[in-house]
Chains A and B, each alone.
Chain A
Amino acid sequence: MARVLRNALTAAVASETPTRPGEIHLRLDHVTKRFGETPAVDDISFEVPRGSFATLLGPSGCGKTTTLRMIAGFYDPDKGDIVLGGRRINDLPAHRRGAAMVFQDYALFPHMSVEDNVGYGLRVSGVAKDERDRRVRETLEFVGLGALGDRWPNQLSGGQQQRVAVGRALVLEPQILLLDEPLSNLDAKLRVQLRWELRALQQRLGMTFVYVTHDQDEALSLSDWIAVMNAGKVEQAGTPWEIYYHPRTSFLADFVGAVNLVPGTVREVRGDEVVVAFGERTVTVRRPSGLALAAGREVRLCVRPEALALRPPAADPDGFRLPGIVARRAFLGDLMRYWVTVDGREWIVDQPDPGAAADFDGPVTVAVKPERIHVIAE
């Protein structure tokens, strides 16, 4: 199946445009969509390379679904262009875009068996019965539902329904697969398992996926590329690594995981380094790219809890050290999370593998490596 799909895809791609590594497959250019007065999607632009797993991440109501539905052709943008495979598709009706969609609620047809659901797209495009049956069978095998072809959707578990929905879209060998929170209706354990299955599937097929989620763990673990959206805008787009360690705004830093955001003031800029004062202390950190800094500028120091470590109060200097007092802590299984009061501010510190070390309590030292501190504007 993987081979079949891949061959078909390569053929399709070859006949259209020669594939270049890193070629842009999907481009949104200043796209705006309003419902009434307030824009649901506000002048967004981004590019998705061919064959990548691209994720739109953001809180509920930020415009992710609206964006995806514009790509699918269910909404017309008020402004801007949507370009797929080098072709502007704004005026192409949904059923001719070659963009299959997997819905949050799966949208399986309740009056059709699993086989008929998966074969529906092929039937519509007039594929002969023999060929159709063969491809449906292969696809069902591929998504691990080989034996369930003659079941009805209501006889399947949530996870199985989700696989049928994915299979139903994949069987058409679409140019691009759009997925709107496909895992959000499943329980936590299955969600994590299907996450890996989806990622493996995408890599085997080399297909472009545009994935929508509000779950930052999901986005970070699945994606080649993430666009974080807020209030109808793309706040930042980049690799999961960039998004996590070099967020551009405090909204972003906060949205993709627990973070310490400490207000400070720029004292001095020295080449690649910048000296920032916070409270009574100063720290010298790497100068962030793409941010114009001058002495006197208000900034925030952004540092992830796992990049900090606790030491006994009189420990040797190790990078930068802050004296603090443990305010409270929470055992989270794989780590112990401490809230430590330093100069009247609470810092979050994560200690990995809590079973291997003694707990901290009372006065401690918070050790931080300056290279793990990231400066953001504000």
Chain B
Amino acid sequence: MRRQAYSLISGFGDFTSAAAVSTILLALALVLYVAKVRLDGGRSFVTVSGRASSMPRPPVPGWLSSACFAACSVLCGMIVLVYGSLVVSAFTLTFPVNTTFTTSHFAFIFSGANGVALRNTLVYGLAAATFSAPFALLAGWLVQRGTWRGRGVLDLLLIMPAAVPGLFFGVGYVLAFNERWLDWLSSGGLLIILAMIFWNVPVGYQAAVAGLRQVDRSMDEAARSLGASSLRGFRDVLLPMLGSSLRVGFITTFVRAVTTLSVVIFLFTSGTTVATIRIFQLVNDLDWGGATAFTVADIGMAMAALGIIAVLARGRVALGGARA
């Protein structure tokens, strides 16, 4: 279905049919949403109750951990194979024909317009992640802890982007903001950042809701009975316990933002091109060396972000536990 819609746009420039197909996709998503709401209605997932306790982990049987280890090794092997060939290709003249070592591909991608594309990727990704993660957390709190009418609608709106292919997200933004007086939005890359923020909200939002569900309401209530407004209680009591949800939102948004092609393909301009667009163009030009070097740089960015977050998370306060 997604492919079909894509071909409708790219092949025939038929936006009306494409919109119709997307609507069908949305309707399907809506059905799934209703099923989800039915399924977890009224269940409790609280693991952080007000009674502090420390629990040892249950032992895992030896055969099970060996089996898991074997399965993971196979998967790892396949991943290493793919990424390995990318890296080899990025550092050789014309893989696999001429495997002479070279750094010329990297010199190429760090210079001129390519350098700008890489910088844009980093800036947009960071900006999107920085805004998307806290926004998702706040939205999760408003929906999960609130008692106001219309929470369900907000819940649906926040989950919907997950059901929309990135391509349509891009198309939607182009159509919605295609006004002369809004040109400043697209020229500075703001439109791309906005699209990345909202396209990625569902992950951070779901992580926030899942995190909040694990924290007993008596926590918020205790803060309120001690004189904190609900916002203050959220900041002092819930937020520190939701660090992992915030990290999930941040890192997922960043990784998805720096690696997405579909969301940006209709939104980029010459000044706001990003790594994935350049990779796409280089592949079209059959410049495999440049394309793989770009890919390696792009993935490197994502890995670096993951590494930094992992290091930051090490000093965290464990849920329900003492300082780790």
Binding site for B on A (CB under 8 A): 72-74, 93-96, 99-101, 103-111, 120-121, 124-125, 152-156, 158, 161, 165, 168-169, 172, 178, 185
* B229 & A103 in contact (Cβ 8 Å cutoff): no
- Using CB atoms and an 8 Å cutoff, list the residues of chain B in contact with chain A: 48-54, 216, 218-219, 221-230, 232, 236-237, 240-241, 317, 319-323
Please name all residues of chain A whose beta carbon is closer than 8 Å to the beta carbon of B236 when the two chains form the complex. 120, 124
Known: A95-B224, A110-B241, A152-B52. 10 other contacts (CB 8 A): A105-B51, A106-B51, A107-B50, A107-B219, A108-B51, A110-B52, A110-B319, A152-B321, A154-B320, A158-B51
Report how far A161 CA is from B227 CA in the complex, Å: 20
Query: Once bound together, how far apart are the Cα atoms of A96 and B225, in whole Å?
Result: 8
Q: Which residues of A contact B50 (CB under 8 A)?
A: 103, 105-108, 165
CA distance A168 to B228 in the complex (A): 13
Q: Which of B225, B241, B321 contacts A94 (CB 8 A)?
A: B225
Contact between chains at B52 and A107 (CB < 8 Å): no
Whether A172 and B226, one on each chain, are in contact in the complex, defined by CB atoms closer than 8 angstroms, is yes
A125 engages B51 (CB within 8 Å): no
Closest chain B residue to A118, Cβ basis: B226
25 A/B residue pairs, CB under 8 Å, sorted by A: A72-B225, A73-B225, A74-B224, A94-B224, A95-B224, A95-B230, A96-B227, A100-B225, A105-B218, A107-B222, A108-B222, A109-B219, A110-B48, A110-B317, A110-B319, A111-B241, A124-B228, A124-B236, A125-B227, A152-B323, A154-B321, A158-B51, A165-B50, A168-B226, A172-B226
Closest chain-A Cβ to B95's Cβ sits at a distance in Å of: 50
Residue of A nearest to B51 (CB): A105
- What A residues does B230 contact at CB under 8 A? 95
A-B contacts at CB below 8 angstroms, number? 101
How far is the CB of A97 from the nearest CB of chain B, in Å?
8
Contacting residues, chain B, for A152 (C-beta < 8 A): 52, 321-323
B222 and A101 contacting across the interface, CB-CB below 8 Å: yes
How far is it, in angstroms, between the C-alpha of A152 and the C-alpha of B53 when the chains are bound?
10
- CB nearest neighbor in A for B48: A110
Chain A residues with CB below 8 A from B49, complex form:
105
Chain A residue with minimal CB distance to B241?
Answer: A111
Nearest chain B CB to A35's CB is how many angstroms away?
12
Is there an interface contact between A107 and B241, defined as CB atoms closer than 8 Å? no
Q: A110-B320, A161-B52 are in contact. Are A101 and B227 (CB under 8 A)?
A: no
Among A93, A111, A120, the most chain B Cβ lie within 10 Å of the Cβ of A111
User: Which residue of chain A has its CB nearest to the CB of B215?
Assistant: A110
Task: Tell me the complex Cα distance, A195–B320, Å.
Answer: 28
- CB of A110 within 8 A of CB of B321, answer yes
Check if B53 sits within 8 Å of A154, measured CB to CB.
yes
Cα A168 to Cα B240 with chains together (Å):
19
Top 3 A-B pairs, shortest CB-CB distance? A107-B50, A121-B226, A153-B52
A121 CA to B229 CA in the complex, in Å? 11
- The chain B residue with its CB closest to the CB of A106 is B50
**Bound complex: CA A286 to CA B221 (Å):** 49
> B218 to nearest A CB, angstroms?
4
* Residue of B226, B229, B237 most packed against chain A (CB within 10 A): B226
- Nearest residue, chain B, Cβ from A152: B322
Cα A95 to Cα B317 with chains together (Å) = 27
Kindly provide the distance from the CB of A107 to the nearest chain B CB, expressed in whole angstroms. 3
Structural contact, A107 and B221, CB atoms closer than 8 A: yes
In the complex the two chains form, is A107's CB within 8 Å of B317's CB? no
What's the Cα separation between A103 and B322 when bound, in Å?
21
Q: In the bound complex, how far is the Cα of B51 from the Cα of A104, in angstroms?
A: 9
Chain A residues with CB under 8 A of B240: 111
Interface centre among A110, A121, A154, A168, by most chain B C-beta atoms within 10 angstroms, is: A110
User: For residue B316, which residue of chain A has the nearest CB?
Assistant: A111
Query: How long is the Cα–Cα vector from A74 to B225 in the complex, in angstroms?
Result: 9
In the complex the two chains form, is A99's CB within 8 Å of B51's CB? no
Interchain CB contact under 8 A, A109 and B229? no
A124: chain B residues within 8 A (beta carbon): 223, 226-228, 232, 236
Q: How many whole Å from B117's CB to the nearest CB in chain A?
A: 42
CB distance from A183 to the nearest CB of B (A): 13
Q: Which of A73, A108, A169 contacts B224 (CB 8 A)?
A: A73
- State how many angstroms separate the Cβ of A261 from the closest Cβ of chain B: 39
How far apart sit A94 and B229, CA to CA, in the bound complex (Å)? 8
A95 near B222 (CB under 8 angstroms)?
no
Q: A107-B216, A161-B51 are in contact. Are A121 and B227 (CB under 8 A)?
A: yes
